[in-house]
Amino acid sequence: MNTASVSTPTLSVSERVKAVAAALVIGVALIYTTGFAASTNVHNAAHDSRHGLAFPCH
């Protein structure tokens, strides 16, 4: 019988911080870009999602 082992790479602290910072920047950009979008449909969809997640928007 053959067994396979899987190793996961270990990330350094600085790589983790970079990943978290990138995720936060992208997330904030998506929320605020959609929130201030000129298209009524896009804005309303984001608005309803924010209320569903209890995100204060007004």
Question: What pLDDT score was predicted for residue 1?
Answer: 61
Question: What pLDDT score was predicted for residue 2?
Answer: 74
What DSSP string describes 1-58? Answer: --------PPPPHHHHHHHHHHHHHHHHHHHHHHHT-S-HHHHHHHHHHHHHTT----
Write out the chain's pLDDT in tens, 58 residues.
677 777 777 889 999 999 999 999 999 888 887 777 677 777 777 777 777 777 766 6
Question: What pLDDT score was predicted for residue 58?
Answer: 63
User: Model's pTM, two decimal places?
Assistant: 0.51
Amino acid letter for position 20: V
List all residues 6 or more positions away from 28 whose beta carbon is below 8 Å from its beta carbon. none
